[in-house]
Amino acid sequence: MQDASRFLMQASFGTTLTEVEGVARTGYGGWMDAQFAIPRPTTHWAFPRRDLEQFFGVVESFWTQAIRGPDQLRQRISLALYEIFVVSGNAGDLEFLADPLSGYIDVLADNAFGNFRTLIEAVSRSPAMGWFLSHQGNEKEDPATGRIPDQNYAREVMQLFTIGLWELNADGSRRLDSSGQPIPTYGQAEVSGMSRVFTGMSWPGGWDGPWDFNKPMTHHAAHVSMSEKRIVSGVVIPPNTSGPDSLRIALDTLFNHANAGPFFGEQMIKRLVTSNPSRAYVGRVAAAFANNGAGVRGDMKAIIKAVLLDPEARDAAKASDPNWGKLREPILRFSAWLRAFSATNTQGRLSLWGYDDWMKVLGQAVFQPPSVFSYYRPDYAPPGAIRAANLTGPEFQITHESSVTAYANFVSTVVSTGFDMTYYHPENAPVRGVYTTELTLASQPDALLDRLNLILMGAQLSSTTRALIKNAIEAIPTTGDGPQRRVHTAIALCMISPDFVVQK
């Protein structure tokens, strides 16, 4: 069951004993197939405590579905996609509005198990993305005034969403020219051409509205550029091509670009499994992107299976490799606790309003990345041993002395007293973990740690860390409030240990 626990730490928002037993019984592939078959129980748009102004209703909806949803794989993939195809609720016109974010997260969840080509078109047509990267209402060029189309989305859809900056080999390594220099995937001419593709898109009911963030943008012919559009791969979209046809040609070109598989595949590996996959691992995922085994390119189910079932991902011996794994981001640390201990409040809700105040200190507030580059860049390498070894550690970009201290304080408070923001939001009762089973094991440190290793640690508790935590538990008497203190201490020490913070 330890291997099942480790798998679930990669494939979900955290483990429960029931889920671990299910994976151990059906196998990884069987569990994934069952997950693929689960329809979405609800949407963020339909969440009852969400309206235009209630951004934190979207946050509650996220936590409710991420922690309690039976569709754990879809929820986890949706977060990975969100961190690649970024729309920030902390930016400009989108700041703290619920409708744009709820509609956009639904787009990602709805397309998580579909096809990458469909996904990238849904992202491109999303009004929230249109607001964030300014192609909603993007006007065609006007030679008389010198106006040119906005180039923001045109650039990012290539650089961040589909093909990246440099030509890649099938294994994700950079292609080099005859001088040994990397080859750019595009230049300013291609950005200009793509910017004309993304003109004329706005609200389905009219150019100026009414606003509807739950429906894709449509083309309005009077605002679409009819000029020639030179884009990547030497493709030229002829003059007088309609808006929908220009979009189709451009997205087909990006989708079929040789970079798409290794570029997207490596990002998914980094989000789910390890910061430093081998070139062979990336190549196998890229091959699944290119062909799902039935001649279909871009099959998300095949890509996800390739990422999570790869021999490198499933090799338990990798846990002892210092170059393997990834720093667990704050959202996933907190979600592991919420799921392991069935956290809730007296109202039966996960009303974590005010949680973002904590998470901003920790560097990762839900749906509030600081820029289109997400919370951290996938190629970030912190100074020191990681950079010297030519490795990456993306999540270290939001990790520093103050965030580490804040995390330890956060864990100590949440584990022992729960998440209590009633001072700011008196209508929301505190969210607390349920430690009923753990309390029955308070006088049996080994049994308690065995359980925590399985449901919280992803079976990564080392003998050294285990001995240290066991000593701390045994130093607490079993009388009075001793059992509670023992359990709280064990959980908190597990959660601040390197064995938990680094996912192997």
Residues 119 and 226 in one domain: no
Residues 175 and 279 in one domain: no
Report pLDDT digits (tens) over 177-234.
999 999 999 999 999 999 999 999 999 999 999 999 999 999 999 999 999 999 999 9
Q: How far apart are CA 206 and CA 406, in angstroms?
A: 48
Asked if residue 251 is part of any domain, the answer here is no
Asked if residue 144 is part of any domain, the answer here is no
pLDDT-wise least confident of 83-97, 301-315, 349-363, 378-392? 349-363
Residues 172 and 306 in one domain: no
Residues 363 and 491 in one domain: yes
- Phi, psi at residue 142, to the nearest 5°? -135, 100
> Which residue, 187, 214, 241, sits at the end of a domain?
241
Which residues is 174 bridged to in the sheet?
168
Question: How many structural domains is the chain composed of?
Answer: 3
Q: What is the mean pLDDT of the chain?
A: 95
Under a CB-based contact definition with an 8 Å cutoff, are residues 393 and 380 in contact?
Answer: yes
Asked if residue 143 is part of any domain, the answer here is no
Report pLDDT digits (tens) over 407-443.
999 999 999 999 877 666 666 778 999 999 999 999 9
Residues 356 and 464 in one domain: yes
Asked if residue 136 is part of any domain, the answer here is no
Contacts of 457 (CB under 8 A, 6+ apart): 5, 494, 499, 500
Asked if residue 401 is part of any domain, the answer here is yes
Residues 361 and 499 in one domain: yes
Under a CB-based contact definition with an 8 Å cutoff, are residues 219 and 244 in contact?
Answer: yes
Residues 198 and 335 in one domain: no
Residues 341 and 390 in one domain: yes
Q: Is residue 297 pLDDT above 90, yes or no?
A: yes
Residues 218 and 354 in one domain: no
Q: Is residue 361 pLDDT above 90, yes or no?
A: no
Report pLDDT digits (tens) over 262-276.
999 999 999 999 999
Residues 378 and 412 in one domain: yes
Asked if residue 92 is part of any domain, the answer here is yes
Range of the domain at 270: 2-127+258-315
- pLDDT for residue 164: 99
Q: How confident is the model at residue 475 (pLDDT cuts 50, 70, 90)?
A: very high
Indicate the residue type of 282. V
Residues 460 and 357 in one domain: yes
Asked if residue 229 is part of any domain, the answer here is yes
Residues 274 and 365 in one domain: no
